[in-house]
Structure 1
């Protein structure tokens, strides 16, 4: 079956140094029916010119030039709307597809299983090494199984997956959440009982970890915004009746606890809203069984009850930890 069109959607902002590698990795794919949709989000470097050049030279390329900077959260839906493919593959502008057969492998798995979401492996590259992560095998429509997989394993992003396009019909991300879009969209998709999720044991995505991509997330405001996404997921899954399943609730709690710990560490001179922290403590930390919390190192695990008891003490404790680890 070679008539299944795949649309690769790439939001772009000031990525001139990585665009050619990104675009060429798309054009090198062996799958016949492929289109590439680049959304230039008001880049101030040479990204727009590179996009136009590729669009002029390759019939598979289509470019959207945003009139104002929207960010990836609002740029991706523009690409989805323009896409004519049956399936979507999301790619960040500083990343790439490492194998010429990646899209073909995903499509063949879709044909074999009639899957709606096909999850692939990925490689993380930094200045020192390459780490490859392969997903466990999954093939199910059961929302509990899908959500446990989602919260347990590190495949919560939009990238490294092939999605049936119509899965995104009617999906939305709250405007006030700008960190956690992937979590919110995938939670809505994985929670649906009619959609099949399957996987391949092959690396199909290359993620370039840079100093800027790491440090851009290290702020208290960003950490708080991620917690808004955790809160949103709690409300959504509660309303869907899925938190009555202990496996789902426990894994959501563990995921949220890791984000609360990260926020406390980034708090520094800032403060949590006391009522909001009490709320997070009540819905995520307290319901999580003690034996599951123990998977976090003790020096991290005690941060949440310490913060709940006295933010001053937790600040002092973090300073001591910094001295010990520096």
Structure 2
């Protein structure tokens, strides 16, 4: 909601700093209003003037969700390519490719045209394409800057995981590039790697353009730097693309397969490991809005329950104690992100609320480090207030 307000204000021509101040005031008022609503409902409940909605218990909730959409397994089978890279690289760019005959050349060419003294290799994983993608990629057979892997279709996560398996420890940094997208400058790699090497960063990312048809919207990143790890105060992009990352961050980490919203794993499994983070204001990446992509084509589908399932899966994969940063991420995922399930039947929404409540009880043993807004949202789960949760999800507070 805060980001939406800021975008609207900036759209009217006001400076981003002014937009940030106004949105903070609005969100402060929202928090106060939410606190009042919680208190009033608590008083009315104690006086027996309102009754709680009867919700399914946890086991019935699980069964309701299972009948609607089974939880994916998510685990990754290690690939067994016999070929090994003959040398090490400063950066390996990973490009998953499935039926992208219209865009794959643009993506690959944007990587091989980079002007840099760093040793860079692009690995393209042709994920069982049925169009002419494989034929197009054959053109790069003799190009020393590109290596193509062909496999049966495993999905976006499976293709990324194959590349991660393949490169082993033969690069210091990696970069994910979706085949629809492309690097916005021939100096993109140099900008990111120079900063990464200078400060020995775990992650460096840059500004990017969001392109939908002829409309281009700049997502401006600040020049920022921290050695204290990632927290919710930093402006950052919670997706794997558009950033250089130390390959060591990905040791024993993989993308959940068969899930939608697989990029959620970044905030659960990668960001908690980061100590040194930076972003640069230079525009690095062109992100293309895909009309056929999951984000735009998924509305109303029960597979959106993966929003819920993937949080459960990732929490089981978290090896370290849950940090304040991750606590706030969990609340975000189980409230604002749950707007994806609102078009589904009410009984499924109720079951999702119960399932979310159980995850919070199992994983958030205390509220230390939570933002005020998220602390208030957790009170909604404590009070089993389904309707207030639904309102929060709808408004994306």
Contact 2:268/2:326 (8 A) holds in 1: no
The 3-state SS of whatever aligns with 2:115 is: coil
Q: Are residues 4 and 38 of structure 1, via their aligned partners in 2, closer, same or farther at CA, if it must alter by over 3 Å?
A: closer
Contact 1:158/1:186 (8 A) holds in 2: no
Q: Are residues 292 and 116 of structure 1, via their aligned partners in 2, closer, same or farther at CA, if it must alter by over 3 Å?
A: closer
In 1, Cα distance between the equivalents of 2:137 and 2:300? Answer: 32
Q: Is residue 192 of structure 2 the alignment partner of residue 116 of structure 1?
A: no
1:86 to 172, 186, 206: 172
The 3-state SS of whatever aligns with 2:182 is: coil
Q: Are residues 161 and 217 of structure 1, via their aligned partners in 2, closer, same or farther at CA, if it must alter by over 3 Å?
A: farther
Q: Is residue 128 of structure 2 the alignment partner of residue 42 of structure 1?
A: yes
- Residue 301 of structure 1: aligned partner: none
What are the Cα deviations for residues 19-45 of structure 1, in whole angstroms up to 9, with x where unaligned?
A: 111111111101232111110011011
2:105 to 16, 20, 27: 20
1:224 to 305, 309, 326: 305
Q: Is residue 155 of structure 2 the alignment partner of residue 65 of structure 1?
A: no
- Residue 100 of structure 1: aligned partner: 186
- Residue 148 of structure 1: aligned partner: 232
Residue 201 (structure 1) shift: 1.2
2:353 to 277, 280, 288: 277
In 2, Cα distance between the equivalents of 1:191 and 1:292? Answer: 19
In the TM superposition, 1:244-259 aligns within 5 A as 245=324, 248-259=326-337
In 1, Cα distance between the equivalents of 2:305 and 2:248? Answer: 31
Contact 1:147/1:187 (8 A) holds in 2: no
Q: Are residues 122 and 284 of structure 1, via their aligned partners in 2, closer, same or farther at CA, if it must alter by over 3 Å?
A: farther
1:263 to 315, 325, 341: 341
Q: Is residue 248 of structure 2 the alignment partner of residue 166 of structure 1?
A: yes
Q: Is residue 269 of structure 2 the alignment partner of residue 191 of structure 1?
A: no
- Residue 127 of structure 1: aligned partner: 213
Contact 1:89/1:161 (8 A) holds in 2: yes
- Residue 321 of structure 1: aligned partner: none
1:241 to 321, 325, 328: 321
Residue 130 (structure 1) shift: 0.6
In 1, Cα distance between the equivalents of 2:155 and 2:277? Answer: 28
Q: Are residues 174 and 78 of structure 1, via their aligned partners in 2, closer, same or farther at CA, if it must alter by over 3 Å?
A: closer
Q: TM-score, normalised by structure 1?
A: 0.77
RCO (CA 8 Å, sep 6+): is it higher in 1 or 2? 2
Contact 1:35/1:85 (8 A) holds in 2: no
What are the Cα deviations for residues 206-246 of structure 1, in whole angstroms up to 9, with x where unaligned?
A: 11113212433334333211222233455566x63335x3x
Q: Are residues 28 and 255 of structure 1, via their aligned partners in 2, closer, same or farther at CA, if it must alter by over 3 Å?
A: same
After the TM superposition, which of the residue ranges 38-47 and 70-79 deviates more from structure 2?
70-79
Residue 294 (structure 1) shift: 9.8
Residue 291 (structure 1) shift: 4.8
Residue 275 (structure 1) shift: 4.3
The 3-state SS of whatever aligns with 2:183 is: coil
Contact 2:307/2:337 (8 A) holds in 1: yes
Residue 104 (structure 1) shift: 0.2
In 1, Cα distance between the equivalents of 2:162 and 2:314? Answer: 24
Segments of 5+ residues of structure 1 without an aligned counterpart are 296-303, 319-326
The 3-state SS of whatever aligns with 2:171 is: coil
**Which has more radius of gyration?**
2
Contact 2:158/2:255 (8 A) holds in 1: no
